[in-house]
Chains A and B, each alone.
Chain A
Amino acid sequence: MGGLSWPLLVLGGGKIVDKLVEMKNIHKYYGRLKALKGIDFSVGDNEIVGVLGDNGAGKSTLIKIITGLHAFREGEMYIKGEKINPRHYSVKKAHQLGIETVYQEQALAEKQALWRNIFLGRQKTNALGFIKVKEEKEETEKVMRELMGFTGIGANPDSNIKTLSGGEKQGVAIGRAMYFDADLVILDEPTMALSLQEVDKVLNFIESIKTRGKSCVYISHNISNVYPVSDRFVAMDRGKVVGRYNKDEISLDQLNEELISVTKVK
């Protein structure tokens, strides 16, 4: 799918549908620090977008605005065609809109059981809000076996997160995002703590997002991981988008050189 054919996509039946995510001139401050300085960014239907850039470029900040964690100041954001009011947008709302995220920080609570970490915020409860513990644990067992590829040694749904290895923790964070079957999966440095073999699993997962017709934003410092699975690339530097590339227009080596030249101190 051509990444630059925005703003509108025409889907089957002639129905005109806006892009999955569309951001225009987004600004974000942390106190006085200006982290995003007028970003245009979009994610189309069934598109994998690789986001690249140095430490502190604003990649995580950008995706945290999409996930509802941070409110933006200026600019406009549309998700599935719906105009987002930053004051009423939230992580919960993003979940409802089908956005799942694997945060760079993993977003796991160390002293809590694995099964609780999977369902936090989306608990299976009765009408009074009491958790259906057995059901959540059984589902977790399934998630672990089928989605995370845990082979049954060591970890189980009752394990505390602090007893897991770095790779296992990442597996939980990714498994959680897979379980809730999103229209948009955002992965922020998902392969940091992983062995080569585990990295392959993550890349396979991203490819499966594509085959299932869903979309993905994939942030990584490792261009050789991002390149093969992405449809297009967005390069960021110091709060700005400094380059946009379609995969069919650029080779891995060219992309590498581009990134070095666009992020050079001017």
Chain B
Amino acid sequence: MDSKLLNSKTWEKYKTQIALISIAIFVLLLFIITSPAVFLSPQIYRSFLSTVPFVGVMALGLTLILAMGQIDLSFPAVMALSGFVFALTYQLSGSVFLGMLACLLTGSFVGMLNGLLVTKIGIPAIVVTIGMQFFIRGLSNVLSQGSALNMNVGDNIFYRLFAGDLFGIPAQAIWFVFLSILLWAILFRHKFGEHVLFTGDNEDATRMMGINVDKTKIIAFMIMGGAAAFAGILDVFRMRTWWPTMGEGYLMMTVATVFVGGTSMFGGEATILGTFIGAFLIGSLEAGIVAAGLSGFWTRLIYGLLILVAVTIHTVMNR
């Protein structure tokens, strides 16, 4: 992009996003060229709108965690356990609302455990959340005895709100947009988000200015857990089933989404727009590869290539 087109300050501020949008447009054009029949019809985009948000919502939570200079690898398991609690509570009580509440509480409770272990015991987040991931996945396996739960709520208001169409757009996409805007506002306009960014940037300085860094971290891990639980709600509604392997395969997709989006591991910085675009980029790749007639073997290779190229561009641009 020609920097003369933009005033240099705007360019400085938005260069990551501009680079990412350029990559996205490039990939889209590639898809259209290789399989015009698929990528010039609206169907495929509708399908992206309903599938991308699962990873997208968790990627939003992970963006917050990375902004804080932390990491969470437990969320796919948290998604599964919370989804299980959702389906079970619904089966036992017949109340969708109660089920959703229990689900969100479960997710944020596990997040709180992560946060407590990181802050009060002092174990690095990567270690805590790897352990937690096994424990939580195991717990939902033990509780469910490895079998799926039926979750047919019929076509009630909740189903329509979370898995139906709203204004002709898949509900998941609307939730994803709403949560992206909400998280943006929290991260960049709310004092909690400011505490997250400062904690990720310089923890000691943040303490010196009177911020309760431990509390900030615990709340952020709870939000991550809540986001995973919300993804679980969306998934259970859509499939009308909870199954024990739920969330498996989402870990790398989510991590890749956030990095491709331009948020770094170093903390103190984040881009919600980047994560939003990254989610669609990562989420559309498989379909594009298959539509182009390439065998599934290519998928990983192209994923890897995209991630490396995107991260290289972000890093070089921010040097």
- A interface residues (Cβ-Cβ under 8 A, vs B): 67-69, 90-92, 94-95, 101, 103, 105-112, 116, 120-123, 125, 128-131, 133
Contact = CB atoms under 8 A, between A and B. Distances in A.
A90 B189 CA distance: 25
Nearest to B185: A130
Contacts, number: 73
Contacts of A122: 210
Interface stretch (B138-146, B197-205, B273-281): B197-205
15 contacts: A91-B207, A94-B210, A95-B210, A107-B202, A107-B209, A108-B202, A108-B205, A109-B201, A110-B201, A111-B268, A112-B201, A120-B194, A120-B198, A120-B206, A129-B191
A90 B268 contact: no
B235 interface: no
B198 A112 contact: yes
Interface string B233-261: 00000000000000000000000000000
Contacts of A103: 208
B209 A120 contact: yes
B194 A105 contact: no
A163 B189 CA distance: 22
Given A90-B210, A111-B269, A112-B198, A105 B190 contact: no
Given A112-B197, A131-B189, 14 more contacts: A91-B208, A94-B210, A107-B208, A108-B205, A109-B198, A109-B205, A112-B198, A112-B201, A112-B268, A120-B195, A120-B211, A123-B194, A125-B190, A129-B192
A101 B207 CA distance: 13
Contacts of B269: 111
Main secondary structure of the interface of B (DSSP, over half): helix
Contact of B208 (A101, A110, A123): A101
Interface of B: 185, 189-192, 194-195, 197-198, 201-202, 204-211, 268-269
A28 to B, nearest CB: 16
A91 to B, nearest CB: 3
Contacts of B206: 109, 120
Nearest to B201: A109
B157 to A, nearest CB: 28
B289 to A, nearest CB: 36
Contacts of A133: 189
B209 A130 contact: no
B194 to A, nearest CB: 6
B278 to A, nearest CB: 20
Contact of A91 (B185, B210, B268): B210
A120 B192 CA distance: 10
Contacts of B201: 109-112
Nearest to B192: A129
Contacts of A121: 209-211
A190 B192 CA distance: 30
A98 B192 CA distance: 24
A265 to B, nearest CB: 32
Given A109-B202, A109-B205, A121-B211, A130 B189 contact: yes
Given A91-B208, A95-B210, A110 B191 contact: no
Nearest to B208: A107
Contact of B194 (A90, A101, A107, A131): A131
Contacts of B205: 105-109
Contacts of B204: 105, 107
A92 B207 CA distance: 10
A96 to B, nearest CB: 9
Contacts of A90: 210
Contacts of B189: 130-131, 133
Contacts of B207: 69, 91
B209 A110 contact: no
Contacts of A108: 202, 205
A131 B206 CA distance: 17
Nearest to B13: A158
Contacts of A130: 185, 189-191
A94 B207 CA distance: 13
A105 B208 contact: yes
Contacts of A111: 197, 201, 268-269
B177 to A, nearest CB: 20
A106 B205 CA distance: 8
B268 A109 contact: yes
Query: What 3 A-B pairs have minimum CB-CB distances, sorted nearest first?
Result: A91-B210, A109-B201, A107-B208
Nearest to A103: B208
A162 to B, nearest CB: 10
A118 to B, nearest CB: 10
Interface centre among B189, B191, B195, B206 (most CB of A within 10 A): B191
Contacts of A131: 189-191, 194
A111 B268 CA distance: 6
A42 to B, nearest CB: 23
B50 to A, nearest CB: 31
A152 to B, nearest CB: 16
B208 to A, nearest CB: 4
Interface centre among B190, B194, B197 (most CB of A within 10 A): B194
Residue among A90, A105, A111, A128 with most chain B CB within 10 A:
A111
A111 B205 CA distance: 12
